[in-house]
Chains A and B, each alone.
Chain A
Amino acid sequence: MISSLANPLRFMRVSLWLAPVLGIGAAILIGVGLALGLAAPPDYQQGDTVWIMFVHVPAAWTAMMAYAALGAASFVSLVFRHALADQAAKAAAPLGAAFTAIALVTGSLWGRPMWGAWWVWGDARLVSVLVLFLLFLGYLALRASIDDEAKAARAAEILALVGLINLPIIHYSVEWWNTLHQGESILRKGGPALAGVYLTPLLITGLGFSLAFGALWLARIRAEVWRRRATVLALQAALK
């Protein structure tokens, strides 16, 4: 599937209908997930703040997925010099930054009533997610700061690959260090720690956020393909 989409013409043909389909699927899943989530009873410890989980956790999952996509596309672009992979990497970065910003802001709004603090610098989970945000911004800044697009792409791809080390750090931060952040509650030995009434809407909303990322990512890659096409045509016109 992915290798067949590596052909730019085929990609443009498939993404033309796939992006809106994913977008509609995302809207339905997020709507259903949030409706179920907001109907869930208050948590016995966290009260109604548990509602923040239905946007905070999916945003954090999607931010990490966006970075994995950025890293994978950067690897393919760096090793195989595939133009579409570079466009995919470039398209993933602003979306990843936005999802990370949502996770950070909603996490802060959840932390204040539960921990009594908007932010804790000594918390490994919080700081490693902040590093993720800075990696996205660094990638975008690096690309914007070098005029030669090919050189900018190479430099940014190397940064993206180095930054991949942060993904396991984020995931295991709650196990490796003492943290205010709650431990792993979904993918853990013995099954999820969440009751079904919270887990089901969380998984539905999480899938919805993922599909939204997919739809927006495809649309941004398409925009980048058009931008490069316009740049080439403008250059050809100028050389005439």
Chain B
Amino acid sequence: MISLASLPGGKYAVFIWPAYAATALGFAWMTLDTVLRARRWRREALALEKARGDDA
């Protein structure tokens, strides 16, 4: 287990690394949500297009 105090930044490490963690978390959410959303709607649209093609 790594303690925040052992990370670079001295006495301010407890503020610095949570700030970087919050930023990483924000980027992870934005990226995951965007990729999953894009995949889901692309898959659904293509499936509906295929179903329409099969009906015709």
Contact = CB atoms under 8 A, between A and B. Distances in A.
A105 B24 CA distance: 12
Which of B22, B34, B52 gathers most chain A CB within 10 Å?
A: B34
Contact of A220 (B9, B18, B38, B51): B38
B19 A237 contact: no
B52 A59 contact: no
Interface of B: 8-10, 12-13, 15-16, 18-20, 22-23, 26-27, 29-31, 33-35, 37-38, 40-42, 44-45, 48-49, 51-52, 55
Contact of B10 (A47, A55, A94, A226): A47
Interface in A39-97: 47-49, 51-52, 55-56, 59, 94-95
11 contacts: A52-B15, A106-B23, A110-B15, A110-B19, A112-B15, A219-B34, A223-B40, A223-B42, A226-B45, A230-B45, A230-B48
Given A48-B10, A49-B9, A227-B41, 7 more contacts: A38-B8, A49-B15, A52-B16, A98-B29, A106-B19, A219-B35, A233-B48
Nearest to B40: A223
Contacts, number: 95
Contacts of B51: 237
A49 B16 contact: yes
**SS class of chain B's interface: helix, strand, loop or mixed?**
helix
A48 B37 CA distance: 38
Contacts of B31: 216
Interface string A24-47: 000000000000001000000001
A51 B16 CA distance: 7
- Nearest first, the 3 A-B pairs at minimum CB distance are A226-B41, A233-B48, A223-B38
B23 A59 contact: yes
Contact of A102 (B8, B12, B26): B26
Contacts of A48: 8-10, 12-13, 16
